[in-house]
Amino acid sequence: MVNVGIYGASGYTGQELLRLLLRHPEVRIAALTSRRYAGMQVSDVYPVFFGLTGLSFMDASPAEVAQVCDVVFLALPHGVSMQIAGEFLNAGKKVIDLSADFRLRDVRIYEQWYREHTAKTIIKEAVYGIPELYGNVVSRARLIANPGCYPTSAILGLAPLVAEKWIDTASIIVDSKSGVSGAGREPQVGTLFCEVDEGFRAYKVGQHRHTPEMEQELGCLADHDIRISFAPHLLPVSRGILSTMYATLHKDVTAADMNDLYRSFYEGKPFVRICREGTLPNISSVRGSNYCDIGVTVDGRTKRAVIVSAIDNLIKGASGQAIQNMNLMCGFDEVAGLQMIPLFP
Amino acid sequence: MVNVGIYGASGYTGQELLRLLLRHPEVRIAALTSRRYAGMQVSDVYPVFFGLTGLSFMDASPAEVAQVCDVVFLALPHGVSMQIAGEFLNAGKKVIDLSADFRLRDVRIYEQWYREHTAKTIIKEAVYGIPELYGNVVSRARLIANPGCYPTSAILGLAPLVAEKWIDTASIIVDSKSGVSGAGREPQVGTLFCEVDEGFRAYKVGQHRHTPEMEQELGCLADHDIRISFAPHLLPVSRGILSTMYATLHKDVTAADMNDLYRSFYEGKPFVRICREGTLPNISSVRGSNYCDIGVTVDGRTKRAVIVSAIDNLIKGASGQAIQNMNLMCGFDEVAGLQMIPLFP
Amino acid sequence: MVNVGIYGASGYTGQELLRLLLRHPEVRIAALTSRRYAGMQVSDVYPVFFGLTGLSFMDASPAEVAQVCDVVFLALPHGVSMQIAGEFLNAGKKVIDLSADFRLRDVRIYEQWYREHTAKTIIKEAVYGIPELYGNVVSRARLIANPGCYPTSAILGLAPLVAEKWIDTASIIVDSKSGVSGAGREPQVGTLFCEVDEGFRAYKVGQHRHTPEMEQELGCLADHDIRISFAPHLLPVSRGILSTMYATLHKDVTAADMNDLYRSFYEGKPFVRICREGTLPNISSVRGSNYCDIGVTVDGRTKRAVIVSAIDNLIKGASGQAIQNMNLMCGFDEVAGLQMIPLFP
Amino acid sequence: MVNVGIYGASGYTGQELLRLLLRHPEVRIAALTSRRYAGMQVSDVYPVFFGLTGLSFMDASPAEVAQVCDVVFLALPHGVSMQIAGEFLNAGKKVIDLSADFRLRDVRIYEQWYREHTAKTIIKEAVYGIPELYGNVVSRARLIANPGCYPTSAILGLAPLVAEKWIDTASIIVDSKSGVSGAGREPQVGTLFCEVDEGFRAYKVGQHRHTPEMEQELGCLADHDIRISFAPHLLPVSRGILSTMYATLHKDVTAADMNDLYRSFYEGKPFVRICREGTLPNISSVRGSNYCDIGVTVDGRTKRAVIVSAIDNLIKGASGQAIQNMNLMCGFDEVAGLQMIPLFP
């Protein structure tokens, strides 16, 4: 049993952490902070929790939260996490940061895509928290940089091909489509129902901040620098990311070969499901779960691999993966609290 | 641990039973039948289950299923359940029927709204399975008539007012709005995406078969015959029923009085949540859960009570309630396998 | 050809006026005002207009707009219209106000439901702009109080029954369901995509400001005061209002009688369509059009009339009706610029 | 004024033709055929038309239809059009075929992707009906092969780059996302509301029949054979296709250069709108209209052009384009009957 705090708990990511942690067999929730909603009951801000918890949001300092928690999740905007993560680490707490602040190992790249970094010395402590790739290191980490939602879908989708050097890494294209919850709960015209409903659009093509995160991790697997083209799109759904990835194959392989590669690469990983040959994933088949479903095809006419991956952006793309990391850091079963079957329809 | 069978398992109700029962701590699934999909893996028909179960659909006779099961859920069309329920009862099995075949205690009313009844002698064995009203009787039942989705929302919403005789029962109007999953998975023009999306309509106004079920149960609570006006509508969502109910108050009561009445009526019932005064339920706050949320208001200008209830039609309106009934019949904790927190957004 | 101005043109109602007026054969758009977007091209705020108009929003005083326009539409919040309508009238312009400021003839009722009224003397000039009821008066009006969206659907739906005294007016219940565009384009948590999507809820039951408007007009038709119960709901669609209305019948009538009544009451009215007996309207069958579809049923078991009406809230419920009023005021064909066939699917 | 027939008029494409043609200033609808709905009023099958037309579907032979029509639209499944197109041509009628039967000039390619062709001799008569590329030829055509929905979006999106040889044509990737109406109104599990809602998936990756159509037209513009990778996806919306297209640039160009190229290539084309630099199209900005919106970007880090195009699949992707072709064939204004402003929200 660990005492857990969620710092910045009032966004969609924070409420999803809460929803999952309330049913986690090894967790007691000791603190939820939110400046905006301080003093309000969680169930007044999110009626799903009505009758299920008496917890309220508080406006507490890191020191106050550290006193009552063993593990802290930071569900804060980029730039804010870096200001307080150190304090928790100094107090000997485990920290799982859901912002981008510790994801990029090269601080220059961070500063080029985001802003000035004010906690440079901690960056090297951080472990990029994709358990399927870094499970052992995650287990020993004190600070987890929890991956971005898009990068989770892209890295899991491409890792086997890149690691095994089956593709020309200069040819990688990632075309991703995300549900709206990824944009958060802050009111803005662009995420109003009427603006999104029955619509679909691309945005920040070639300019999205998740690009360097994908390049770092794929480059790491390839053992050389990689540049990719990344185009995110906004789907008129609440949850889900589906990424379609294209890369030119170095060699003549069949879909069956690809399927074998992926199955063996992810053998024993409880949250990656490789679709049966001939079938492709759907975001509605992972909604509400921590699964990443991956379908692999070969476009024989053009010698390209086309990979499709699907996750629930709030779970495997954020809060579920954060809990998966916590499970490993705390020595719990990797799947503890995460065995939800997807909700369909 | 009980061995459970689902007879007619390939519709949305059947797959929801399966989804919930696979995570139920006291259940082993022993048989799933489907004539159409016999021989196919469940995960080929519903990809959510991929990797989570190796179960296949079979085309088995009631006798064959009875041999391996202690409890059988019948998720069959009206008119089919009545043909096989008896065989399971004769074999000493507990039966939970999700069709309408055993819901109406007066066979003439059944035959007037549905069709000829061919298992009249069993009807009197059946217990109408709303545990909040009939918990003790449910515990001792061998045959449960699991309530319809609309009636569940309406009966729970009106029971306190009717039982306490606060309203003129001749004035009851039930205006219900349901998600599309209630219409099943059989392909038809009316439930195609393009026909439902961005649409909203009423149907079978004053003629829906769930009307006599509401009248029977409310009449029972009132101790006299009741006739209501019932108008169902189709919402462009997959899950959820919200019913808005109107009735003229006999006496001068405030919203606070109403709230007190409802809280005390449902005290100790784990799946009914009475909203805080001044707030009303939303189907998205119960989705994926077994809760029925109820909000009560008084329209002081017209002396009417206006009650709003919300359920997930596939869970509290069907499969979840069926499992709640099973829990009571089998002596399990009433909430076993049903403690999902609603999925939002 | 008239010169038209839209004062407060940047909301959904304003853009819908613009969309329709740009294709109106008798109209030239002379001014569009918006404080927030002053100086911006319309097509930067609403990309649908890209390439179709070079118009920009301006921040202009009523006097400036009056100089270039013959007719002015006020698409402003309640309380703002009353401050400037007089200036346009004094300048001899025709005014169509889409706010509630001039809809209630009894200023005490306005002040009870809204706020202090600061242009009381003009109220008596205003004509409540439902052309199906007040066509002749509209033709001679200088100031139109364009009806609210919910009242349009309810008044058209109930008018024949009330006018012909077929129902007990004390028994009227209006259960309305509206798309989200009615809530406007101002960012707020409650209208974010993720909050509305897959959800459905009632709000302001018995307390919505459109109640007195319905009561005024129905009372007028009945020739006595009327109090109704009105419960609005929020649908997860962008456009459309469907109202389901219940009232106890004074006499024994069939659905066919009702149908005849409605057909004859609305004979010659180009935008009211009475559904064939046995069929009911759907908001997706009026979307993008100025039609109000009405379906009538009799619930013989309870002696109630149940009426269902459907409109596009932005067109017949706001901008389309405003243009219909303009057409009459200016002596144009009533249907000019309004003959769009609904867009389905 | 021409007399027009729609052969196979009961699908979504047929009803959209009807909707547009009923408001076309130069058209009289002389015949609508549908075997399934023969004898039924159009408004019974599509309630949008209620009160707007008295037309009924008939089951008529090509000869009977030819007798009363000057122009015939064939809205039939692939394989059926080829059986009757000749009869209309022999009767001297203009034919616009919305199926794939006459789109591929090389019959071997048709037979490889579709089925045996039984009207080979007519193929050479057919003009591929993208007026932006083939306007003059369309004007003189007797038989139009109306383009597929996906090819329309992809060909218009890539034509300038291919024609001007700015890109490596071997590098072209087309990632398309379509609304559900493209799948037609035939009931099937895959297009039920509950299966599509809140979902998103890729299908037929590298195997979709629209691939050779894109390759034919782009190859024609390039003057050499082209092979592309094409991955279609299903969006949970009724209308709209958005295609995101990737290709490696031969030369150093800026987004501004690209924008200039596109503007000049499509100068004078009334239905192509090139988005302002820095903005990208949204399907909700073209819905209900015949526009194709195109946004162009350069991913400088990878030297790729990324093009995004958006159309309404039922209009510019089918029925609207068919009417645009008819306008040219009949000497009408190219935009006649097609000047609808998109419907938003």
Burial of C41 (0-12, 13-18, 19+ CB in 10 A): middle
Question: Are the C-beta atoms of residues C200 and B280 closer than 8 Å to each other?
Answer: no
Among B285, B342, B345, the residue with its CB nearest the CB of A238 is B345
CATH number (domain holding residue A260):
3.30.360.10
Q: How confident is the model over A80-90, as pLDDT tens digits?
A: 999 999 999 99
D53 interface with C at CB cutoff 8 Å: no
Distance CA C6, CA C74 (A): 6
Distance CA D137, CA D128 (A): 9
Min Cα separation A22/chain B (Å): 9
Tell me what pLDDT residue A135 has: 87
Q: How confident is the model over A289-312, as pLDDT tens digits?
A: 999 999 999 999 999 999 999 999
Among A187, A198, A237, the residue with its CB nearest the CB of C192 is A187
- Which tokens is D320 given? 């609207």
In 3-state terms chain A splits into helix, strand, coil percentages (rounded to 5) of 35, 20, 40
Do B114 and B174 sit in the same domain of this protein? no
Q: Which of C228, C213, C210, C216 is nearest to C169 (CA)?
A: C228
> Where in the sequence is the domain holding B113, given as residue range(s)?
2-124
Question: Are the C-beta atoms of residues D128 and D147 closer than 8 Å to each other?
Answer: yes
D195 and A283 in contact by Cβ < 8 A?
no
Do C118 and C168 sit in the same domain of this protein? no
Burial of C268 (0-12, 13-18, 19+ CB in 10 A): exposed
* A149 catalytic per annotation: yes
Hunting for tokens 């008939």 — which residue is that? D58
Min Cα separation D287/chain C (Å): 9
Q: Which residues of chain B from 285 to 344 reach within 8 Å of chain C, CB to CB?
A: 285, 287, 295, 297-302, 304, 306, 308, 310
First to last CA, chain D: 34
Among C12, C188, C194, the residue with its CB nearest the CB of A194 is C12
Q: Does residue D272 belong to any structural domain of this protein?
A: yes
pLDDT band with cut points at 50, 70 and 90 for residue A64: very high
Query: At which of D124, D158, D185 does a domain end?
Result: D124
Do A155 and A216 sit in the same domain of this protein? yes
Among C51, C181, C341, the residue with its CB nearest the CB of D345 is C181
| Strand, coil or helix: A280 | coil
Residues of B in contact with D188 (CB under 8 A): 187
Strand order across the D71-74 sheet: D27-33, D2-7, D71-74, D94-97, D143-145, D126-128
Task: Please list, in sequence order, all residues whose beta carbon lies within 8 angstroms of the beta carbon of residue A134, skipping any fewer than 6 positions away.
Answer: A127, A128
Q: Does residue D338 belong to any structural domain of this protein?
A: no
Residues of C in contact with A181 (CB under 8 A): 194
Mean pLDDT, residues C130-150 taken together: 97
Q: Does residue D202 belong to any structural domain of this protein?
A: yes
If you compute the radius of gyration of chain B from its CA atoms, what whole number of angstroms results? 20
Q: Does residue A106 belong to any structural domain of this protein?
A: yes
Number of domains in chain A: 2
For residues C28, C30, C32 and C35, what is the CA-based torsion angle, rounded to 10 degrees?
A: 180
Distance CA B132, CA B221 (A): 13
Residues of B in contact with D197 (CB under 8 A): 180, 193, 197, 236-238
CATH number (domain holding residue A10):
3.40.50.720
Q: Which residue of A has its CA nearest to C235?
A: A193
- The chain-wide mean pLDDT, for chain A, equals 97
- The chain-wide mean pLDDT, for chain C, equals 97
- Which tokens is C126 given? 């205003």
Do A79 and A160 sit in the same domain of this protein? no
Min Cα separation A50/chain B (Å): 8
Do A101 and A234 sit in the same domain of this protein? no
Do D110 and D166 sit in the same domain of this protein? no
Question: Are the C-beta atoms of residues A166 and A144 closer than 8 Å to each other?
Answer: no
Do A176 and A284 sit in the same domain of this protein? yes
| Strand, coil or helix: A316 | helix
Min Cα separation B92/chain D (Å): 37
Strand order across the A126-128 sheet: A27-33, A2-7, A71-74, A94-97, A143-145, A126-128
A245 interface with D at CB cutoff 8 Å: no
Strands (E), chain D: 2-7, 27-33, 71-74, 94-97, 126-128, 143-145, 173-178, 201-202, 229-234, 241-248, 272-274, 292-299, 304-311
Strand order across the B201-202 sheet: B201-202, B229-234, B173-178, B241-248, B304-311, B292-299, B272-274
Q: Which residues of B2-35 are buried (b: 16+ CB within 10 A; e: fewer)?
A: bbbbbbbbbbbbbbbbbbbbbebebbebbbbbbe
ipTM: 0.97
Cis ω for the linkage preceding A345 (within 30 of 0): yes
Min Cα separation B115/chain C (Å): 20
Tell how many helices (H) and how many strands (E) occur in chain D.
12, 13
Interface test with B, best of C169, C175, C193 (most B CBs within 10 A): C175
Among C19, C197, C291, the residue with its CB nearest the CB of D341 is C19
Tell me what pLDDT residue A286 has: 98
Residues of B in contact with C236 (CB under 8 A): 235-237
Q: How confident is the model over D166-205, as pLDDT tens digits?
A: 999 999 999 999 999 999 999 999 999 999 999 999 999 9
| Residues of chain B below pLDDT 70 | none
Min Cα separation B283/chain D (Å): 16
Q: How confident is the model over D233-291, as pLDDT tens digits?
A: 999 999 999 999 999 999 899 999 999 999 999 999 999 999 999 999 999 999 999 99
A73 interface with C at CB cutoff 8 Å: no
Burial of A106 (0-12, 13-18, 19+ CB in 10 A): exposed
Do A161 and A257 sit in the same domain of this protein? yes
Q: Which residue of B has its CA nearest to D12?
A: B194
D273 and C50 in contact by Cβ < 8 A?
yes
What's this model's pTM, rounded to 2 decimal places? 0.98
D345 interface with B at CB cutoff 8 Å: no
C188 and A187 in contact by Cβ < 8 A?
yes
Q: Name subunits touching B (3+ CB pairs < 8 A).
A: A, C, D
Q: Does residue C10 belong to any structural domain of this protein?
A: yes
Distance CA A263, CA B251 (A): 68
Q: Which residue of B has its CA nearest to C196?
A: B284
Do C115 and C29 sit in the same domain of this protein? yes
A304 and D229 in contact by Cβ < 8 A?
yes
Which candidate in B149, B220, B275, B292 is catalytic? B149
C12 and D345 in contact by Cβ < 8 A?
yes
Active site residues of D: 149
Cis ω for the linkage preceding C151 (within 30 of 0): no
Residue D296: Cβ within 10 Å count: 28
Q: Which residues of chain B from 131 to 190 reach within 8 Å of chain A, CB to CB?
A: 181
B191 interface with D at CB cutoff 8 Å: yes
- The chain-wide mean pLDDT, for chain D, equals 97
pLDDT values of chain D reduced to their tens digit, one per residue, 345 residues: 999 999 999 999 999 999 999 999 999 999 999 999 999 999 999 999 999 999 999 999 999 999 999 999 999 999 999 999 999 999 999 999 999 999 999 999 999 999 999 999 999 999 999 999 998 999 999 999 999 999 999 999 999 999 999 999 999 999 999 999 999 999 999 999 999 999 999 999 999 999 999 999 999 999 999 999 999 999 999 999 999 999 999 989 999 999 999 999 999 999 999 999 999 999 999 999 999 999 999 999 999 999 999 999 999 999 999 999 999 999 999 999 999 999 999
Do C44 and C100 sit in the same domain of this protein? yes
pLDDT at C135 over 90: no
Do A71 and A118 sit in the same domain of this protein? yes
Question: Are the C-beta atoms of residues A17 and A44 closer than 8 Å to each other?
Answer: no
Tell me what pLDDT residue B258 has: 97
Task: Give the type of residue at C148.
Answer: G
A288 and B181 in contact by Cβ < 8 A?
no
Q: Which of B61, B50, B56, B71 is nearest to B9 (CA)?
A: B56
Question: Are the C-beta atoms of residues D191 and D183 closer than 8 Å to each other?
Answer: yes
Query: At which of B124, B141, B174 does a domain end?
Result: B124
Q: Report CA-CA distances (Å) from C247 to A156, A218, B225, C161.
A: 60, 67, 21, 9
Q: Does residue D340 belong to any structural domain of this protein?
A: no
Tell me what pLDDT residue B40 has: 97
Q: Which residues of B326-338 are buried (b: 16+ CB within 10 A; e: fewer)?
A: bbbbbebebebbb
Residues of D in contact with C47 (CB under 8 A): 275, 279, 281-282, 285, 293
Q: Which residue of C has its CA nearest to A192?
A: C192
pLDDT band with cut points at 50, 70 and 90 for residue C304: very high
Among B15, B273, B345, the residue with its CB nearest the CB of A51 is B273
Q: Determine what percent of chain C is predicted with pLDDT higher than 90.
A: 99
Do B165 and B250 sit in the same domain of this protein? yes
Burial of A36 (0-12, 13-18, 19+ CB in 10 A): exposed
A282 and B47 in contact by Cβ < 8 A?
yes
Q: Does residue C141 belong to any structural domain of this protein?
A: no
Interface test with A, best of D200, D214, D243, D244 (most A CBs within 10 A): D200
A229 interface with D at CB cutoff 8 Å: yes
Q: Which residue of D has its CA nearest to C344?
A: D48
A236 interface with C at CB cutoff 8 Å: yes
Q: Does residue C99 belong to any structural domain of this protein?
A: yes
Q: Which of D151, D333, D164, D142 is nearest to D265 (CA)?
A: D164
Q: Name subunits touching D (3+ CB pairs < 8 A).
A: A, B, C
Tell me what pLDDT residue A272 has: 98
Task: Please list, in sequence order, all residues whose beta carbon lies within 8 angstroms of the beta carbon of residue D311, skipping any fewer than 6 positions away.
Answer: D149, D152, D153, D156, D240, D241, D283, D286, D291, D292, D293, D317
Q: Which residue of A has its CA nearest to D308?
A: A202
Mean pLDDT, residues A261-272 taken together: 98
Interface test with C, best of B181, B192, B197, B198 (most C CBs within 10 A): B198
Residues of C in contact with B195 (CB under 8 A): 284, 345
Q: Which of A287, A13, A169, B41 is nearest to D201 (CA)?
A: A287
User: How is D178-244 classified by DSSP, letter by letter?
Assistant: E-GGGG-SS--GGGBHHHHTT--EE-STTT-TTHHHHHHHHHHHHTS----EEEEEE-SSSS-EEEE
Query: At which of D106, D124, D142 does a domain end?
Result: D124
B236 and C237 in contact by Cβ < 8 A?
yes
Interface test with C, best of A194, A287, A344 (most C CBs within 10 A): A194
Strand order across the B143-145 sheet: B27-33, B2-7, B71-74, B94-97, B143-145, B126-128
